[in-house]
Amino acid sequence: MADEINVLGLKEIQSTLNKLPARLGEKVVRAALRAGAQVIRKDAQARAPVLKKPKYGRKPGTVKKAITIRRSKRDKFGVYLTVKGLSAKQIKAFKGGKASKSAAYNPDDPWYWHFLEFGTANMPAHPFLRPAFEAQKFAALRKFEEYAKRRIVREAEKLAREQGSKAA
């Protein structure tokens, strides 16, 4: 008596597994990177220097609010943490419709963040992005892992359901 094992649906499972990597790259990897970057972003916001009172066309919390996670235009799956400046439209509105790119006295523009991060000849550095990364890189990696595990299972189940409905 020979031992035989019949596995039903093996071709469907293989088809699902073959389609999974493309779906993971698009949705899961970028979202998991974003979840990990969120950990670093929160720490950077906590470390960002805040003015005690408004001065020189600046208001407290401008840099802190502008720390964002953005999608990379060069890398398909990349995300990065940055201090987002005002858009040209916002600058133009502040300047009263003038076409100039400069809005040095706009209290909502965090253009000076790199002076805070790296310092100047007249001001010592008050880094907040680099120390946040150094302090949270392992926590961000764990967050990436947790998120990716959950989403991979969810996407695989979703893809299997879609394959099952197409076969029926």
Do the Cβ atoms of 86 and 103 come closer than 8 Å? yes
Report pLDDT digits (tens) over 46-92: 999 998 888 777 788 889 999 999 988 887 777 889 998 877 777 77
Q: Which residue has the tokens 């040095």?
A: 104
Q: What's the pTM value of the predicted model, to 2 decimals?
A: 0.75
Chain mean pLDDT for the chain? 80
pLDDT band at 167 (very low <50, low <70, confident <90, very high): low
Local confidence band at 20 (pLDDT 50, 70, 90 cut-offs): low
Q: Could you state, in order of their start, the residue ranges of all structural domains in the chain?
A: 28-156
